[in-house]
Amino acid sequence: MVWSSPCVADTTTERSGSILIFPKVIFDGSRDTFIQISNTSNSMVYAHCFYVNAVPLCTRSDGDCLAGTCLGECVPQWQEVDFDIWLTKQQPTSWAAGLGRVTFPFDNNCLSDLRHPELDNADCYGSGIDPGRVPPVSFPFAGELKCIEVEAGGAPISGNHLKGEATIVTIDGDNSKYNAVAVTGFDPNDGDNTLCLGGARSERCQSGAEYNACPGTLIVDHFAAGADSPLLGPTSEVRTELTLTPCTENFETQESTRVVVQFRIANEFEQFFSASTTVDCWGNFSLEDVNAVFGVIPLGTRLAQTRVYPSTASQSGIVGVMEEYHTIAGVTARAALNLHEEGERTSADYIVIPQRP
Amino acid sequence: MRGSAETGGMGGMSRRASAAVVGMAAIALLAAPNADAGVSSDRAGAILIFPKLVVDSERGLDTFVRLSNTSDREISLLCFYVNATPKCSLPSRSCFPDPDDCETADGTCIPQWQESDFRIRVTARQPVGWLVSQGARANCSFLPGICANDESQSCAVDRDCGLGNHCVVPPCFPLDGTFRVGRPFGAEESNIDSAVIPAPEDPFLGELKCIAVDEGSLVPVARNDLVGEVLIGRRTPEGIVDVAAYNALGIPAIEGRGNRDSTLVLGGPRVCSGGTRNGQPCAADSECTGGGKCAFDPRVEYEGCPNILILDHFFDGAVDPLIPNLCQVDGTCRISDTTCQSNRDCENRCEGETCTVSGGNCDTNADCSELVGQVRLATDLTLVPCTQDLRTQNPSLSETTAQFLVFNEFEQRFSTSRSVNCFKESRLSNLDTPQNERSIFSAGVAGTLTGQTRIRGVDEGAVDHGNTLIGVVEEFRCVGPGFPLCSFVSPADLVSSSATNLHFQGTRPVSDFLYLP
């Protein structure tokens, strides 16, 4: 007789967790990101959230690195801003990254007055119990959002009560949506400011893993760069953008985490290719920018499966999300997908949050 | 390798209502829900479920299914399309996509649930894909191609299209076993015998299930090597394009289980394995004293479906705060497409007794709806039951009452319920009423922009089926002052769409069953 144990997930995009990671948050004038977070428990939940802006800074004040107009040098940055939110039982909340959310109890509620339709109000951003003051991100912003479940005093806890989604909305009305990556917490969690994701007991993590490990490998099913989208016709093109963020982060010292990422690509002919790139704090790139081998002509087929994993020398795991751009005749439709995961890292990742007062 | 029997065959119970099942149900009554749920959209599984596929070629709508093998070994799949396209009682009328066509002629829309199966073979690490409207075969070498740089030029290979261009053939399986094989120095794997049937009708609405099987006997095998995605997209002659995507749901098999029959047991009660409480119901290892482990009952072959589905959503009818009707450099308002010189011209105000955007007569601003020129949100939910009888097509095994518990941002709670018969697709604000504005899912009633809805299939305590549900959600942005009714199949006011996977919570100590032919 063979018995099975309950499965243990690593990071997850479909179950609540104690750390929520939104790998791709954009606010750049053409796109803004709508964040949704909810409490899946019947008790009050607190979370400490960190925006990390990874937009390179232009050394000249009149240039913009994102727009490609910087005449000076583009200096990588990793600028975090943090804030607290709290959610009552089962409460959902939401805000736009570019707008933030103020604590204003007199926001217009959504209103449907069936007797007086002229009084209808469906424009009700900010209605509901405010989760705290959420600052708007700086402009331009391209980076990530991390929210860590804490107790009322601010110490991290393994409550596993948070879930979330992000919708990247384009100025022309197009949008793409993905689920936040959640990391499940374990007990015991010592509540200090070093969060231990996976791994064994160590000097740094004396009670062992407090959270699940990051995945060992990410699996990306994608179109070859420049391949046609069968949904749109043979003259269409698909471009895939991959966003990766390291699991290890130090918000206390703001030391960046650098991960060498390996790509193992299989085409439809069962032929294999490989490539690599470096993710410094946060990486957002089109696959063809990593290596020309992702292109439809070198790859030779429309579809590919790519396994993405940190190199053995790297000190951090990675999580991410992908976004596909389907274009024909200059019109683009976008769709985001969560990545598949396989295995888990055997070594620990660490998230260090600032010391509490 | 072709022709060899796989080990680790799966199966379930030789008879549907066997004594074993009764025993499991008895244990189920005693055991508490477990915190873990095995179904997953971000991990490979042995069963893949694509809960929603939709085709309407006349309106440029189709679905692309993408599937890949994450292992280093070839894998065979037995797949089932479940056609849930409603039928009109009048033969000359249709119910999908527009039920009015049937109902205005005094016809009745009758749900259907018709399965068609096919088989494919996917080689090591291979990604494959097909359009649901077209299907696919291992015949790429014989398909006519079109140059990506010139739609009027036919081609067979990339060089026919000139340097730097490529030849596009319809989706197909490239390793035909004759002209192309995989692993030329190894097992010579191929996609031979793969044949995806086109959707059984067009327009089509339904789901797809694919199960890892042994190549020769088609007995289910415990290989958690499958991942998949769905892209639903549209291209209209007017140049509108839209794509939404979600991950297929994978159900992992439990290694070493199964009796190689065609009844698959998904989830179920957990009992202590070893220790002083060996065989007794449990929910956690701590309950199994004496060193025992809490594990699935030995008859369970696959991980279980989730106890609760959680959906974070915008309430229907709410205005998207991120898409204002701004004046663009080409002198038109972004959403309403009316002419403008400044952003102020894109607000629907009364100027000179005319509404600036909607254009009607007015005396004051109150006469001009502020919703004109704004984008409003709506959400469609698709639910399918985990228990399905693909053998005798007995729909009663898949009937479940779904309970919906809705929380707004004030922590105020509403609830409703709806019957799910085999396949249920509905706008959220039509779950509880046909009048969207009066629904608990409408922004005007709920009072806030977003909500959290918990969905639970009500357990009937039956021994031959469970009552869990899985699903997927789509979000639509619609333009216009009326309640947002646009969707993939009603695209008149559609601005864009997206799809996401639902969240899960817990599992049940009750089994679901997949009855295969």
**At residue A114, does pLDDT exceed 80?**
no
Q: Coil, strand, or helix at residue B172?
A: coil
B124 inside 8 A of chain A by CB:
yes
Sign of the Cα torsion B338, B339, B343, B348 reads negative
Q: Coil, strand, or helix at residue A212?
A: coil
Q: Suggest the residue from B439, B500, B504, B508 to mutate for an interface test with chain A (most A CBs closer than 10 A).
A: B500
Using CA atoms, how far apart are residues B115 and B313, in angstroms rounded to an integer?
31
**pLDDT tens digits, residue range A314-333?**
899 999 999 999 999 999 99
Chain A contact set for B319 (CB, 8 A): 122-125
Expressed as residue numbers, the domain containing A334 is 11-100+135-352
- The structure tokens listed for A124 are 């009700």
Contact between residue B312 and residue A165 where contact means Cβ atoms under 8 Å apart: yes
A123 found inside a domain: no
**Residue B291 CB neighbours (<10 A):** 10
Using CA atoms, how far apart are residues B149 and B164, in angstroms rounded to an integer?
10
- Tell me if A8 and B294 make a contact (CB, 8 A cut-off): no
Nearest CA-CA distance, residue A61 and chain B, Å:
26
Chain A contact set for B256 (CB, 8 A): 2
**A268 vs B126, B334, B475: nearest CB:** B126
- Tell me if B408 and A230 make a contact (CB, 8 A cut-off): no
Q: What is the pLDDT of residue B180?
A: 84
Cα A219 to chain centroid, rounded: 16
Chain A contact set for B448 (CB, 8 A): 109-110, 124, 127-128
**At residue B74, does pLDDT exceed 70?**
yes
A5 found inside a domain: no
**pLDDT tens digits, residue range B215-236?**
889 999 999 999 999 999 999 8
Where in B138-266 does DSSP place strands (E)?
Answer: 145-147, 150-155, 167-168, 195-196, 204-213, 226-235, 241-247, 249-251, 263-266
Closest Cα in chain B to A323: B245
The model's pTM is 0.92
% chain A with pLDDT above 70: 94
Q: What is the pLDDT of residue A119?
A: 57
- Tell me if B498 and A167 make a contact (CB, 8 A cut-off): yes
Using CA atoms, how far apart are residues B129 and B136, in angstroms rounded to an integer?
8
Contact between residue B167 and residue A234 where contact means Cβ atoms under 8 Å apart: no
Q: What is the pLDDT of residue B1?
A: 36
Q: What is the pLDDT of residue B185?
A: 57
- Tell me if B151 and A233 make a contact (CB, 8 A cut-off): yes
**pLDDT tens digits, residue range B141-156?**
899 999 999 999 999 9
Q: Coil, strand, or helix at residue B319?
A: strand
Q: Suggest the residue from B362, B365, B449 to mutate for an interface test with chain A (most A CBs closer than 10 A).
A: B449
Using CA atoms, how far apart are residues B49 and B62, in angstroms rounded to an integer?
18
Per-window interface: B 428-447 vs A, CB < 8 A = 437-438, 442-447
Chain B contact set for A126 (CB, 8 A): 449
- Tell me if B410 and A128 make a contact (CB, 8 A cut-off): yes
A156 found inside a domain: yes
In angstroms, the Cα distances linking B150 to A228, A234, B164, B342, B456 are 13, 9, 13, 40, 51
Per-window interface: B 201-260 vs A, CB < 8 A = 227-229, 231-235, 239-247, 252, 254-257
- Tell me if B501 and A14 make a contact (CB, 8 A cut-off): yes
Going by pLDDT thresholds of 50, 70 and 90, the confidence category of residue B7 is very low
- The structure tokens listed for A308 are 């993405």
- Tell me if B36 and A6 make a contact (CB, 8 A cut-off): yes
- Tell me if A96 and B322 make a contact (CB, 8 A cut-off): yes
Domains identified in chain A, total number: 1
Phi-psi region of B8 (alpha: psi -120 to 50; beta: other; left: phi over 0): left
Nearest CA-CA distance, residue B326 and chain A, Å:
9
- Tell me if A235 and B293 make a contact (CB, 8 A cut-off): no
Mean pLDDT, all residues of chain B? 88
Cα A56 to chain centroid, rounded: 18
**pLDDT tens digits, residue range B90-148?**
988 999 998 889 999 999 999 899 999 999 999 999 999 999 999 999 999 899 999 99
- The structure tokens listed for B272 are 């202590």
B72 inside 8 A of chain A by CB:
no
Going by pLDDT thresholds of 50, 70 and 90, the confidence category of residue A116 is low
Using CA atoms, how far apart are residues B451 and A124, in angstroms rounded to an integer?
13
Nearest CA-CA distance, residue A206 and chain B, Å:
23
**At residue A254, does pLDDT exceed 90?**
no
A63 found inside a domain: yes
Cα B40 to chain centroid, rounded: 13
- Tell me if A179 and B500 make a contact (CB, 8 A cut-off): yes
**B496 vs A1, A40, A173: nearest CB:** A173
**At residue B186, does pLDDT exceed 70?**
no
Counting every residue, how long is chain A? 357
- Tell me if B449 and A125 make a contact (CB, 8 A cut-off): yes
Q: How many CB pairs under 8 A join A and B?
A: 336
A129 found inside a domain: no
A321 found inside a domain: yes
A55 found inside a domain: yes
Instruction: List the single range of A148-152, A214-218, B228-232, B481-485 with lowest mean pLDDT.
Output: B481-485
B57 inside 8 A of chain A by CB:
no
- Which whole number is the average pLDDT over B468-480? 94
A189 found inside a domain: yes
Using CA atoms, how far apart are residues A228 and B339, in angstroms rounded to an integer?
35
Q: If residue A21 lies in a helix (H) or strand (E), which one and from where to where?
A: strand A19-27
B109 inside 8 A of chain A by CB:
no
Which residue's entry shows tokens 């299907």?
B135
- Tell me if B447 and A109 make a contact (CB, 8 A cut-off): yes
